[in-house]
Chain A
Amino acid sequence: MTNAEATPVLELTGIGKEFGAIRALHGVDLQVQPGEVVGLMGDNGAGKSTLVKIIAGNFRPSHGEIRFAGNAVHFNRPVDARAVGIEVVYQDLALADNLTAAANVFLGRELKRKFGPLALLDHKAMAARALELFGELRSETRPDDLVKQMSGGQRQAVAIARTRLSNARLVMMDEPTAAISVRQVEQVLGLIHRLKEQGVAVMLISHRMPDVFAVCDRVIVMRRGEKRADKPIHQTSPEEVTALITGAKEAA
């Protein structure tokens, strides 16, 4: 499983974040190894989203240090995080409804072809690559259909396909299985396994205990802005995690 000597792909030390008088995060240390699937759990307001947003470059931490693949990094914008190899699937999926599936997959990094001085969009190549990605995800999604007309699962596939464009080393998924059907949950979990096989680290933020226990190697529990537990999945149980989330058990 995890290799103790390997450089962690992500290493947070003493991360804290204040919004005015509100302390959203305090002294969070955590490490994610390459190819590891880490579940991040916690009740609403536990600080999960803030932590994810700090790693994704939406917020800057008030305290602490982020190291990515051994190097200290400072993200000012989400693009900076993406540039080093952190991809995020947002809970609201961040899709533009009025564009096609392929356009959404390639949003912000369109493929272009040179026509003399002009660089025009390469629609064909983008549609072909998108179809390939949807095939990998086993999602029946047509690259030329508008996202507006798609089901929840198809939208999820579009958002996940986006992370597969670059050679991401850490993919964070914010509630990827919250709004989709049972069959599609299987597909998403299958995809997480495939990412893991390729050495990509995955951070799964989820409320769904079965999903976390099905795919994660390790589970981290947040409560009141602090990390309360960080355990290999086989050394814990859904009951213990629930107790940690609700505060029935303070720490483990």
Chain B
Amino acid sequence: MNVKKVLMVLLVPLLVLVFSTVDGAAQKQRGFDDKEIRVGQWGPQSGPAAAWGAVARGSELLFDMVNEEGGIHGRQIKYFIRDDQYNPSQTMAGVRDLVDRQDVFAFVGGVGTACGLAVQNYLRQNKIIWIGVCTGARDFQNNPWLWQMWPDYFDEGAILTKHAVENMGFKKIAYLYQNDDWGADAMDGVKAVLKKNNLELLDAIPVEPTERDLSSQVSRLQATGAEAVIGIMAPTQAAIALRTAVSLGFKPQWLHSYNLCDFGMMSHITDGLWAKEGVMTAAFTPPIDADTPLMNKYREAAARLAPDERWGIFYLAGVVVAEPLVWALKEVGPNLSREAVRDALNSVTNRQGVGPVLTWTEDNHMPPRKLQVWQCGPNMETIVVQDWIENDLPRP
């Protein structure tokens, strides 16, 4: 047998296999059948960011409620959670398993900028619907299969600064930030508002997410004479910064990211200082103790279906990211397809569940620009000091 014949013998079956696979995939409606719709989410159920794992479990609450009511157009939602330990390499492994083996139709949520970035291209190539990645980083724009809900960190920095300057009258503002894209994006917002008010940022001081001694950074903040400090960092560093400031006799008004608006948890890890010092945070949901019919319905369902879960802000955020998928699936009707759900999501207009008011179009999948500002009250209760307010400054 000469080389030509050997090649033909190997090549022909290979080509048949490839073309038959493509053909089969094109005909298959991936992610659902007559009885179920498969939905997935990754999130840290263990490891250093396990506190944020409640988001994935919060989505499960909504899907359980939907299934309890008979599903959507006769189909139950089958929901998968993959624990990635906040580690992007594990996120990829979990997502590939869900897409390739479990055949999921859509993803909701997904904690972490780096984790989301690790799988963004893969999900996009596979045209998987993805709603509400849990980060406000700008790296997720221009993906036609991703609808964003987590407010842009630029808007967050701007609204916190606007509240400090225009509502509270502070002129001396300093900035303490996590030394990555999160801190950098929000700093643009802080500076934009200060510039608009003819003010200068006194100082911008970085912290690393692994640092445990922040005394030099806080001493420097203190030396600036700042009346208010905008903080964009993880809970651990925020708690250590506050403890250090108190031990140095430095008591500015702290205004932090919406990622730290779980006042119960933050007060607990700061020996109650979060409440005592009246720390403020941005927020993009109503308070968890809000007395609205929908919030009461979810709270009662959580007590019944997930009695071991704490009704906290991260758990609620899981419900928030799952709501638009349920709306779209209901709207599409029994003739389900990926394109139909995409079109339904693209036509969401001024709609609100227990999260922010959402409007998406075919060309705009950006998150809402409205946020609230909350203050932790003396008994860890939520005080809304600034109702929904939109950042009208242009995004960079």
A binds B: no
- Which residues of B pack against A, CB within 8 Å? none
A: which residues have CB within 8 A of B? none
